[in-house]
A and B are shown apart, each in its own frame.
Chain A
Amino acid sequence: VQVARTLLHAVIALGTMTAVSTYSASAADISGAGATFPYPIYAKWADAYKKETGVGLNYQSIGSGGGIKQIQAKTVVFGATDAPLSGEELAKSGLVQFPMVMGGIVPVINLDGVSPGSLVIDGATVAKIFLGQIKSWDDAALKALNPGATLPRQPIAVVHRSDGSGTTFNFTDYLVKVSPDWKSKVGSATAVEWPVGIGAKGNEGVANNVAQTKGSIGYVEYAYAKQNKLNFTKMINKDGKTVSPVSETFQAAAANADWNSVPGYGVILSDQPGAQSWPMTAATFILIHKQPQDAAAAAEALKFFAWAYAKGGKMAEELDFVPMPASVVSAVQGVWAKEIKDPSGKPIFTAAR
């Protein structure tokens, strides 16, 4: 009995020790919340960063709206959003905003007799399909864009997101830019009043519904189209050139964007100029307080972001995300040094450049 009791004590002591040690580790973890779209890459970065530095990242992918609410309530060190906040909103909440990583949104279709990646479509036609004005795959507009293809006489089933999402925000923002009709009838937001179609929850929901429904068209993040081996389309961009959704065309859109035109780098990358630009490219943003309550935690977060900018590019590409161009990264790090300060007015983190 004595032995058993000693053993038991030892086990309890060990348990307490490990509990304490994990607690202290998690206390140093960086906490963030927000957009679901960049979650896969944030998780991958966090894993690699933890192995390298021992500092973990606790990111809750609760959606952009939730991320904005939580950073405003100061319950997390950083928030993440797909739809950028305006300069006014940033000033009101005392936040700094910067883009972290980019991705592309692609139209996906389920149509027999059309080989993957061969259908060509332009913004105005996408808007008309999602407005319910083009109802059949053999419509004259689609035939004109695809002279060689045999398009069946089949009704178009539109699939859109049923939940509010940054993907919808960027997609509808593009449609607003290319279609006055869409602008006046529907508009752009994380959730809109869809004139036609069926709604599905999340990128995976849209991908599955398109895969299940013959004659359907939807829009998803590129990674989902690729992983689910969906039939995506080419698009005609602002310069009138036909482009395919690949990493290079997403990067071209980012390179051609004028990042300083909007406060907080809140540039929406849809419909950017340039012969190579994919028209539905999107960045996702980080929000952090200018005068963080916990300066040490904010410094840890910025250290992580600096590491991700410097070393995370390859991992991002593996997951079909697109790293930020170097010019944007150095401008963002300049803003960190200038604007994010501790109570004594000293910059809390300066990236080694």
Chain B
Amino acid sequence: VADIALSDSVKASAAMSRTKILGRLRFGDMLFRNLTRAAAILVLIILSGVIISLIKGALPALQAFGLNFLFEERWNPVTEKFGALAPIYGTLVTSFIAMMIAVPIGLLIALFLTELCPMWLRRPIGIAIELLAGIPSIIYGIWGLFVLAPFLQRTLQPALIAWFDNVPVLSALFEGPPYGIGVLTASFILAIMVLPFVTSISRDVFEAVPPVLKEAAYGVGCTTWEVVRYVVLPFARVGVIGGVMLSLGRALGETMAVTFVIGNAHRVSASILAPGTTISATIANEFTEAVGDLYTSSLIALGLILFVITFVVLAAARYLLLRLEKRVG
């Protein structure tokens, strides 16, 4: 009887400790799950907090100027008349020109790396491009102001002005004294800055093209150009567009480098040699000394506009990349 009693109690205690351990494990699991969930929710809270405070801060300006805020060029701290047209225009134009330069070059580099480059050269070029992405933007700004801008003022800009002097539309596009800095210089700097993004994303996308497709194309006698043109590019199209949009998101928000070389003038000029400004450059320049509630509020409203533009661009990019992943997967 004692034996049975003993084994029973042992069994019972074993079962007890078993439930205890299980309970502890379950508790640990639950704790971990909630911890990770809380961390994830924190992101949402921060994001919505940013949106709410942006809208709240921008409200006085939006109430004072209404929708006109988007289409008004004047930015006058003396009379407190503010309009966002010049910064919005500058942001879009610099980003657009930058993409016009960076996308073709980035695609060519990516194609070279995936299709044509000898194995031993791939790593050095790849690493060089990654290093380009790692340079802090202030360095680009300083380099742009001290090296690139004086160089452009002496060489490219006078040449552009002279070449297109008598061409109807282009003479307005390349008009004015060569300042060195201006919209075009800012676009060049942005192009160099987004080049690594375009390149590395395109390279990843090109590498995702199933080798069997390419080999089949080579098998039926296609040249390298034909393989790229009719197999690689069509397959990778959506992914490349997504990558371009992601780089565009970076170009839109870039602040320091642009502030150095764009000239920071609140004007919409036809000429891309003229100084201009961007949304982020305006905020960086003027926030510290903005006296008056309407002035501060207008700057926050600019931030809200940039937030919306970047959000739309990035959402579109994510959507396109998602579609690509589905197709590959």
Contact = CB atoms under 8 A, between A and B. Distances in A.
Interface in B139-179: 145-146, 149-150, 153, 177, 179
Interface in A191-215: 191-194, 196-201, 208-209, 212-215
B77 A193 contact: yes
A66 B296 CA distance: 12
A163 B177 contact: no
B289 interface: yes
Nearest to A193: B76
Interface string B284-299: 1110111100000000
B283 to A, nearest CB: 11
Given A157-B177, A157-B179, A213-B181, A162 B286 contact: yes
Residue among A65, A156, A198, A214 with most chain B CB within 10 A: A198
A82 B284 CA distance: 20
A213 B261 CA distance: 12
Interface in B258-303: 259, 263-266, 275, 277, 281, 284-286, 288-291
Nearest to A200: B264
Contacts of A86: none
A209 B146 CA distance: 9
B177 A199 contact: no
A212 B289 contact: no
Contacts, number: 95
Given A155-B177, A209-B145, A187 B289 contact: no
B57 to A, nearest CB: 15
Interface residues on B, range: 20 to 34
B268 to A, nearest CB: 13
A189 interface: yes
A165 interface: yes
Contact of B181 (A165, A189, A198): A198
B179 A163 contact: no
B318 interface: no
B179 to A, nearest CB: 5
Contacts of B5: none
A192 B266 CA distance: 10
Contacts of A156: 177
A201 B289 contact: no
A68 B286 CA distance: 16
Interface string A163-179: 11100000000000000
Contacts of A194: 265-266
Nearest to B75: A193
Contacts of A197: 265, 275
B79 interface: yes
Contact of A164 (B75, B263, B286): B286
Interface of B: 74-79, 145-146, 149-150, 153, 177, 179-182, 259, 263-266, 275, 277, 281, 284-286, 288-291
13 contacts: A63-B288, A65-B291, A66-B288, A162-B285, A165-B289, A189-B77, A196-B265, A198-B264, A199-B275, A212-B150, A212-B180, A213-B150, A213-B180
Given A199-B264, A199-B277, 13 more contacts: A65-B291, A164-B290, A186-B78, A192-B77, A193-B75, A198-B182, A198-B275, A201-B284, A201-B285, A209-B181, A212-B145, A212-B146, A212-B149
Which 5 pairs across A and B sit closest by C-beta, in order of nearness?
A164-B289, A199-B264, A155-B177, A162-B264, A198-B263
